[in-house]
Amino acid sequence: MAGERIRLFAALDLPEEVRGALVRWRAPLLAAEPRLLRPVASDALHVTLCFLGQVDAAEAGAIGAAVVASAGGDAPGGLAGEPGPVPGLALADALWLPRRAARVLAVELVDAGGALARLQARVAGALTAGGWFEPEARPFLPHVTVARVRARGNERAARELAAAPLPGVPSLAFDGAAVTLYRSHLGGGGARYEPLARADLR
């Protein structure tokens, strides 16, 4: 009998004050479009580094170890880690993704010194070396998904919403808090994220 398959992704966790600022910023948008936008839970706001999709549950321990090692030590595949915080991050502009057919409302991040991009490359390299991840062709775009578009049956409204200007995002600088391997449990009320392994960056 085939083993259990589970849905995994590695993410940069955000400090509480950043998640709070994003929740306050999106509140008027959600209030104006309650039938069109479904919020991501406050404690689930994160920056996806690598989305693995469905993997064998028996591999979760090894995947978690690779994520932790690559985030704060010597990573599998010979990629040296950089222990400590990920500095130079800040909230930037809001945007709809994908850009041609909006499915999520996101806030892009400024990665002033490139520390987040280097972290993502290390994590991706470790997971690729283990055979669990296939790197995407498009470059890494650091962002936080704050709401999802209920597009089914609302295509026209979604297009009109995506064409309207978005309010400015509060200027807030911060350091990355932690890198976590999450299991995503899908359900009718939206995904629930279960942490499986974590590397504290502070």
Domain boundaries, the chain: 5-200
Question: Tens of pLDDT along 82-94?
Answer: 556 799 999 999 9
pLDDT exceeds cutoff 90 at 26: yes
Residue type at 191?
A
Residues with Cβ within 8 Å of 132's Cβ and at least 6 positions away in sequence, in order, are: 52, 55, 59, 63, 66
Query: Is residue 143 annotated as part of the catalytic site, yes or no?
Result: yes
* pLDDT band for position 102 (cuts 50, 70, 90): confident
177: phi then psi, degrees, rounded to nearest 5: -90, -45
- The proportion of the chain whose per-residue pLDDT surpasses 90, expressed as a percent, equals 68
pLDDT at 156: 78
DSSP-H helix ranges across the chain = 16-32, 60-72, 115-129, 155-163
Which position among 6, 8, 33, 46 bears the catalytic label?
A: 46
Please determine, looking at this structure, whether the domain spanning 5-200 carries the CATH number 3.40.190.10: no
CA dist 119 and 78 (Å) reads: 14
* pLDDT band for position 75 (cuts 50, 70, 90): very low
Which position among 143, 146, 147, 161 bears the catalytic label?
A: 143
Residues with Cβ within 8 Å of 157's Cβ and at least 6 positions away in sequence, in order, are: 33, 36
What is the mean predicted confidence (pLDDT) over 60-75? 84
Query: Is residue 46 annotated as part of the catalytic site, yes or no?
Result: yes
